[in-house]
Amino acid sequence: MSKSTENFNITNPIHFLALGFGSGLLPKAPGTYGTLAAIPLYLLLATLSTPYYLFIVIIMTIAGIYICGKAAKDSGVHDHGAIVWDEIVGYLITMFMMPTTWQSIVVGFILFRVFDIFKPWPISFVDKNLHGGLGIMVDDVLAGLAALTCMYFIF
């Protein structure tokens, strides 16, 4: 583990989730790896009915406020790059009610990453002005909603 991630403990269930099942610890572009880690979870959730999918994503979002906030506090770094639970939830939002095809999975991945990386307004405003677990989660929720909007018109 590199020095910047030494305060994380992958055996701690909160850290394990915040780190995207360990994907956030991979070198370079942890948000991209976190989003990749969301794909198998999406494929599992896509088998559920729409209300169940939505319910689980809402629970993951609410839980993510605590999970990301606690992991950030433990690491001593607000929105540490290795914390990728927010990317997982953002991708699941992007894919809400989308067809489960390789094309939609790839397009959703690209769109979510674009909105998450470039953070157009209001995503950038939220990213700069909300703090703690809520701030970590909300910018990715907004990126997921923006990507979902684009997906709606594409698919």
Encoding tokens for residue 94? Answer: 């992007």
pLDDT digits (tens, 9 = 90+) for 36-63: 999 999 999 999 999 999 999 999 999 9
Quick: pLDDT tens for 20-38: 999 999 989 999 999 999 9
Residue 88 structure tokens: 């997982």
Burial of residue 22, with CB atoms counted within 10 A of its CB: 0-12 exposed, 13-18 middle, 19 or more buried? middle
Residue 131 is encoded by which pair of tokens? 């703090």
How many distinct structural domains can be found in the chain? 1
Residue 124: give the domain boundaries: 3-154
pLDDT tens per residue across span 59-92? 999 999 999 999 999 998 888 999 999 999 999 9
Strands (E) located in the chain: none
